[in-house]
Amino acid sequence: MTPIQKQHAAMTAALVAGYVASVLLSFVLSRAGAQTSTIWTASGFLVGSLILLTRRWRVIAVTTSLCAQVFASFAVGDGWVRAVIGPLGVLFEAGLAAWLAVRYCEVRARRLTLRRLTLLMVGAVVPATIVGSTAGALINMAILRQTFAAGWLLWATNTGLGMAIVLPALLLLVRYEQYKEFRRGWVESAGLVIGVCGVALAVYLQSGLPLHFVIFPTLTLVAFRLGPPGTAVAGFCVATICLVCAVEGHGPGMLVTSMSAAARMRLTEVILATAIFTSLATADAVAEQLRVRRLLIDHDRSARAARRRARLDAQRSTPDRRARAA
């Protein structure tokens, strides 16, 4: 196996593992005693597989992921209709999002700027969520006897926010080498991510103080030190921790007693999505500033080197002119 094939195999394994872990987490939280359904981050991993992998590895990743979801669905007690149709609905939505992202949103560019990430959200995730949620609502009407409006809202918030949180993290993580100005030691990188996760746990394991705002400055610190890739990864970790705690009935959202459990969950998801995209915008602005600074420094060095070469050439040509004049 060549190094490129090993790289594709490792990426495929990581994406499939992320998808399976997301499915299991969502099933455990939403169907094993939790009061409300949780976010569906698996769609983000499936869209990442369709965008990042070549044809052969893409087929392997998608087939393995969906088969694992079918088996997991059977394991939690779903009937065969729901176990089979559910993954097909996820595939339809993820496939539409991936096609829009590749065709219109420049997701395969060398660097993903804030403009491209915003275009990805507006031009791929939102339309795919609208269309996919319509199909998902029809599936829920047929299988769960749920109203169309309730099914559409449930599918849209769960899958849409799941893609919005996971997909930027994946696309930026594979471009880590493009952000050389944010290369830090592994001790600092791990310490920052672990610290942010610790803050998230401290905020969401209590329900007595409205400490949502603490997430914003911690992610901003990561944005300045680790850039867009590190911010995306830290944001994904924070979202996972906070959403698990919220589903289990913890966190500042529990203070809003006038809202239902589902509404408090949606509020938490919106706050986390806002924190992640705010920190990504900050990281992108810092990265662009550092890139421009590096380009200016390189240009200045090149100009100085060119002037030095011109002076040396002039000094070498002066004796020759004098000799010819003599």
* Boundaries of every domain in the chain: 1-174, 180-326
The Cβ of residue 182 has, within 10 Å, a number of other Cβ atoms equal to 21
Q: Report whether 282 contacts 222 (CB < 8 A).
A: no
What is the greatest pairwise CA distance in the chain? 105
Q: DSSP states of 54-92 as a string? A: -HHHHHHHHHHHHHHHHHHHHHTT--HHHHHHHHHHHHH
**pLDDT value of position 91:** 93
Q: From the first residue on, what is the mean pLDDT of each consecutive set of 10 residues in the chain (326 residues)?
A: 84 93 82 57 93 92 94 85 87 94 88 85 93 87 81 84 87 85 88 94 90 92 92 89 84 84 80 87 87 84 85 72 57
Question: What is the amino acid identity at position 300?
Answer: D
Give CATH for domain 1-174.
Answer: 1.10.1760
- Are 31 and 73 within 8 A, CB to CB? no
Reported pTM: 0.82
pLDDT (0 to 100) of residue 34:
46
Contacts of 208 (CB under 8 A, 6+ apart): 255
Query: Is 201 in contact with 241 (CB distance < 8 Å)?
Result: yes
Yes or no: say if 11 and 18 are a contact pair by the CB < 8 Å rule: no
Which pLDDT score, from 0 to 100, does residue 35 have?
45
